[in-house]
Amino acid sequence: MILVVGANGMLGRDLMRVFQGEARGLDIDEIDITSPESVRRVILTVKPRVIINAAAYTDVDGCESERDRAVEVNGEGVAYLSMAAGEAGAKLVQVSTDYVFDGGKGTPYIEEDIPRPISVYGESKLAGELNAQLAPEWLVVRTQWLYGVHGKNFVETMLRIASEKKEVSVVDDQIGSPTWTKDLARAIGALVAKGCHGIYHATNSGTCSWNEFARAIFEEAGVPMTVNSMSTKELNRPAPRPLFSVLDNGKLIRDTGFEPQPWRDALRCYLQERKDLWAHL
């Protein structure tokens, strides 16, 4: 049996679909990953063969002012899951992020590149990666720029703004790969099915800036909108962001045969599922 922790979240719900029939999902009301007692009790009762941790504190700017909370959830919580996984004989799958890198490499990051986080969020997620490796069997899956049906995300934010305004300013100097949670869940499914171990990168293929992503959202939805350019410096958010944090999917493709679809194709599929978001615009 596969246990999905954080099953009510954006990624968690898609993981439950991918592992339908063999998954059990738990969320904060049933397991508190910041409590070693809660984690140990639940894991040793459920006795899963695989634990997928999709629970995280993902407010990047909020992490800057709530460092202790970020470390508690994204770092220490993973250590508790690792220890319980070891006791139960389970494999731990930890979902991580491109924010473990500083964005200065200039070419796509591979799994062997040395992490250099520049934000509290990135530091806390790197701590989670290291703590996941305390489990006898572990898999770390780094991803980025997630959007999905079951949570707040950039696509929904842009379409909401389109219902209120005729133009929007979006940064054009951060480059990455928008990733649909359904495709990430499929990639994790392929990695688990192949028994993969270690660190892997999994995103939709292709790259763009947030500005280009916004333009694509409005184009695919057929919504007229003026998208202006701005810099990350002009945006002036509390947490620093890596400017080029593209992740190389080569290892995922080589070891599983799973090839993530292009980000724009994934966006089109997502918008078809969420016509309720934009059909009235």
Catalytic residues, which ones? 121
Distance CA 163, CA 122 (A): 33
Amino acid at 193: A
How many Å from the N-terminal Cα to the C-terminal Cα in the chain? 43
Beta strands in the chain (DSSP E): 2-5, 23-26, 50-53, 91-97, 138-143, 146-147, 167-171, 175-176, 179-180, 198-201, 208-209, 226-230
Amino acid at 242: P
3-class SS of residue 255: helix
In this structure, are residues 25 and 42 in contact, taking their beta carbons and an 8 Å threshold?
Answer: no
Report residue 230: phi and psi, to 5°.
Answer: -150, 165
